[in-house]
Structures are given as structure tokens and as C-alpha cells.
Amino acid sequence: MSTDTLTPYRSATQASARDGFVHLLRAEWTKFRTVRGWLAGMVATVLVVVLLGVMYAVGSQGSCDMGAVEAACPAPPVGPDGAQVTDRFTFLHQPLAGDGSVTARLTSMTGIITYPPPDHDEIVPGLVPWAKAGIIVKESTRQGSAYAAMLLSGKHGVRMQYDFTHDTAGRPGGVSAASPRWLRLTRSGDILTGYESADGTRWTKVGAAHLAGLPATVQVGLFVNSPGDLSVKSNPLGGSISQARFTQASAVFDHVSVRGAASDATSGGSWREAQVGDDPQEMTDWERFHRRNGVEQSGDTFTLSGTGDMAPVGDGPRVENTLTGIVAGLILVVVVAVLFVTAEYRRGLIRTTLLASPRRGRVLAAKALVIGAATFVCGLVAAGVTVALATHLLRSTGNHVLPVSSLTQWRVIVGAAALLAVAAVLALGLGALFRRAVAAVAAAIVLVVVPYLLATASVLPDGVTGWLMRLTPAAGLAITQSIPAYAHVVGHYAPSDGYYPLAPWAGLAVLAGYAVLALGLAILALRRRDA
């Protein structure tokens, strides 16, 4: 008698129609689009993001929102890469035609820190960490024009900086008459190379900069400035308090020389003084009590005093500020995503779904793709419309939105859509894991929304908020940050001021990791449970 086992015939076509992943996607999409409440939730997400963004823009009145905006409120200076910058310093300069070099010895660098007027509560000697003094090659005295500088900083040693955003470290340490710093910049076409020396004989290269489009004749010479002294203190009521104080730096130079094909001047050449970024007719109140910003010459020695900074600006309306409704949108998306799976448990339809497709992991994967794709499309529409409309309204009322590259702006828009989509997948996984809508929605909000609110509401110390935005799914909101933090720029780099501890895509990756984990646990639980 034959012992062969008869296997029932199963049509490949029927199996593909019943169990194929594409079929599952179509089935899940059909479920989603036929429930009016879920579609209404997606539409509400778009409307909430757009309306709250428009309300933010309308409520942000600029100081020049009457009459001709351009005439009443000129645009802030913009650097070579398109970023808004501050460009203020004391400049002793002369022209350099063609290739050449500028060399100087720095023998002293001092400063003062003072509270702003009218009180002048305290005046102390000292340099802030990023006070700067050195030599510079600059396209012109116009604010925002291209430059390269070799400088000594208050606390970070010798640096080569150029075009506001670039910084290269040289030898650490300070300066004194017994231990001077020699600095040199050479120009060869569009290439500026910086050197430092302890004795003016043996030179060490610090860095090089390519300043594309540099004109044939540039301005070279000495400069000094000093940014505000920023102090951040813990608030007894929670969060932190920031205070900026006025500062001034003074530097003493000698052995100054400019060499070039069309210029062979020494320190006795035709020097001119410029207060870049200052109104020459205006004297600030605190300058009346201290050394004025400017240049003093004694023989071949120059003493420069100045305030200000050469740096990108991080304060002001940003592209991501228009997306204030993204948190409200997140909550709506979470509710829809959770209901997309828990509704089947509540109505007992999950058994029918699993009978139609016994491979349970595929069912949740199909649901995740459907809710993720639907949310991404709605988020893309919401973010694109909001950014375009709200930034236009801001500019029309005299607010200068901090400029960013088109690539960065698109990253913010697409990133906001991806943020909503990944959060929806996380919520779906929690819904399948808990099988109860209320519990899953609460868990998703506690994981994503609550840490963000705590981190940005100035109720916790900066250290705690930083870890919240590293370790929780709220890290995903970093994808919307448009202005980076710069190590060489003084700033309060905390979530409450729009700076997150993780890079944009790294933050989104943390959220994605939580979503994959939740979905994986849900698939594992679904395989072990009865439907």
C-alpha cells in the first residue's frame, strides 16, 4: 500500500490573491478610506497645522509693520552662504590689490564686561571666551561681505575663521608682552592661508579658505571685537534665565606690514579706521564711561578697541516656528493611527482579517505602510502650505525670517511630514500591542508629546531637557531645526530656544527606532495571542 501523502491542490493565483502583500495593502487602504472619521482626522491634521501656523504669523508683528517695510526696516546683513549674520568690529585697514599678505604681532589682549545702561551695576575686567583680535582680509567694509581672519580668541587660543560659519583651531593659550602671537594671512587668488608663529620666523599653517569671487582689490588690516557675555542661570521656578551683558575688547599690535604686488606698505602706510556695523554718529551710553571703540596709534604700535561679533545669527523668526501646529497635528495623527488597528479588536473584525491573511506580521506591516503613507502625504501638504503662507505673512509684517538654503527649507518640510508619519507608525504599533485605544493613545502622547513640552517649556534644567530630547521619541522633532548650533558662536543652545542635542536626521532616527520596536513587539504579541 502506498504511503504517499496527498497534498491538497492550491492555486498559485488564488494564494497570491489571498495572501499577497499587494492585496493586503489594497485591503487595508480600502478600510482606511471608507471610514469617514479616519479621513476626517487626516483633514483635521492638515487644517490644524496650517491654521496654527497662520495664527503665529499674524500674531508676530514686526517693528516695521507700517508703511514701506524695506524703507523703514532694512534687511539684516546676509553672509556669503545666505545666512543672516552679525558683522560688527573695529577695523584698521588699507587696500591690497592682487596677491599679497598681511602680518602683525599681537602683544596684549584685554577687556571689560559691563551691565547695560542705565544702571551699570558692575564693571569687571576680563575677556569673554569668543572675544577676537587679529588680522583680516575682507572683500569690503560692507557688512556681510566675505572675509578670512587669523585671530586670537579670549579663551580658545588662535583660530582661523572665515565667512562667519567656518572655524579652524590653532595653538591654544593666551598672549602677553613676554609671549606674543605672530599672525599672518596670505592671498593667492581666491585662496587665503593663515599662519601663526611664536617668534615671527618659524611659521605654522593653521588653515586655508576658498573665498570664491573675491575681487582683485580687498581690504586688509587689523580688527578687534567682543560679543555679549551670555550667562545662563537656573530658575528656581524651573528652566533657566539668560542674560547678555555688553563687553569690549582691546588689543595691542606692532610689527604690522602689508606686502603685495601693488602694495608694499609697512605700519606707517595709509591706514583708515572703520567701525563696521556701527553708526559713526552714534555713541552708546556705556562708551561714555569707558574707552571708546576705535584706534589709538603710538609710533608703530596700534591699540584697537571694539565690540560686536562676526558670526551667524540664531535669534529671530525661523522657518520651523511657522510649524507650531505640528504638536497638535501629532496628537490627531496618533488618535487616527491607534483607531486604525484597535477598531478591529473592538468590533471583532481582527479575526476576519487574520483568516484572510494568516501571516500576521504582514497584516501589521501593511497597516503600517498605509497609515504611514497617508500621514506623510497629509503632513507634506500641511507643512508645505504652512511654511509658504506663514513666512510670507511674517515678511509682510516686517519680520525678517532667518534665511536658510532651499535644501534646508525642504528638509524641514519633508522632515515634518516624515515626523508625523513615523509617529503614526509608532502609535499603530502601540495600538496593536495594547489593543485598547485609550491606553495606546495615552502611551503615545506620553512618549512623544509630553517630553517635548517639558523640554521646550522652560520648566526643567537644560541638562535634563537635553537628555529628554536624546532618549525619548520626542528626539524626532529635531528634524525641524533649521539653524544649527555653532561651537564658535555664543548662544543658549537648549530645546527651549529651538536647539536640539541631536542632528536633525539622527533625532528622526531615534523616533524611527521606537516605531520599529513598537511594531516588532506588536507583531510578536499578535503571533502569540489568539486574535
Q: CB-based contacts of 126: which residues, under 8 Å, 6+ apart?
A: 111, 112, 113
Pairing of strands 132-138, 204-210: unpaired
Domain assignments of the chain as residue spans, ordered by start = 18-57+319-483+496-528, 86-310
As a whole-number percent, the residues of the chain with pLDDT over 70 amount to 83
Q: Residue 6 above 50 pLDDT?
A: no
- Reduce the DSSP state of residue 494 to 3 states and report it: coil
Q: How far is CA 334 from the centre of its chain?
A: 27
| Contact between residue 420 and residue 386 where contact means Cβ atoms under 8 Å apart | no
Helix axis angle, 360-396 to 326-347, nearest 10°: 160
For the chain, how big is the Rg over CA atoms in Å? 30
- Helix/strand/coil percentages in the chain, nearest 5: 40, 25, 35
- Distance, in Å, from the CA atom of 471 to the CA atom of 506, rounded to the nearest integer, reads 11
Largest CA distance in the chain: 120
Q: What's the pLDDT tens digit per position in 334-392?
A: 999 999 999 887 776 666 666 556 666 788 888 999 999 999 999 999 999 999 999 99
Shortest CA distance to 383 belongs to which of 408, 413, 341, 344? 413
Reduced 3-state DSSP string for 86-137: EECEEEEEEEEECCEEEEEEEEEEEEEEECCCCCCCCEEECCCCCCEEEEEE
Dihedral sign of CA atoms 266, 215, 197, 298 in order: positive
Q: What's the pLDDT tens digit per position in 76-110?
A: 899 999 999 999 999 999 999 999 999 999 999 99
Output the pTM of the full model. Answer: 0.86
Residue with cell 497597516: 367
Q: How many residues does the chain have?
A: 531
Q: How far is CA 460 from the centre of its chain?
A: 21
Q: Which three cell numbers stand for residue 201?
A: 620666523
Q: Options 2.30.29, 1.20.120, 1.10.3470, 2.60.120; which CATH number does 86-310 get?
A: 2.60.120
- Distance, in Å, from the CA atom of 211 to the CA atom of 138, rounded to the nearest integer, reads 10
| pLDDT bracket for residue 72 (50, 70, 90) | very low
Residue-level pLDDT at 118: 58
Q: Residue 217 above 70 pLDDT?
A: yes
Core vs surface per residue 7-39: b (16+ CB within 10 A) or e:
eeeeeeeeeeeeeeeeebbebbbebbeeeeebe
Q: What's the pLDDT tens digit per position in 14-49?
A: 444 445 778 888 888 988 999 999 999 999 999 999
- Distance, in Å, from the CA atom of 397 to the CA atom of 266, rounded to the nearest integer, reads 50
Residue with cell 542661570: 233
- Distance, in Å, from the CA atom of 63 to the CA atom of 66, rounded to the nearest integer, reads 8
Task: Classify the phi-psi angles of 491: left when phi > 0, otherwise alpha if psi is within -120 to 50, otherwise beta.
Answer: beta
- Distance, in Å, from the CA atom of 104 to the CA atom of 111, rounded to the nearest integer, reads 20
Question: Hey, how many other C-beta atoms are within 10 angstroms of the C-beta on 380?
Answer: 18
Q: CB-based contacts of 167: which residues, under 8 Å, 6+ apart?
A: 159, 160, 161, 486, 487, 488
Residue-level pLDDT at 310: 96
Residue-level pLDDT at 289: 52
Dihedral sign of CA atoms 35, 41, 44, 45 in order: negative
- Distance, in Å, from the CA atom of 102 to the CA atom of 85, rounded to the nearest integer, reads 25
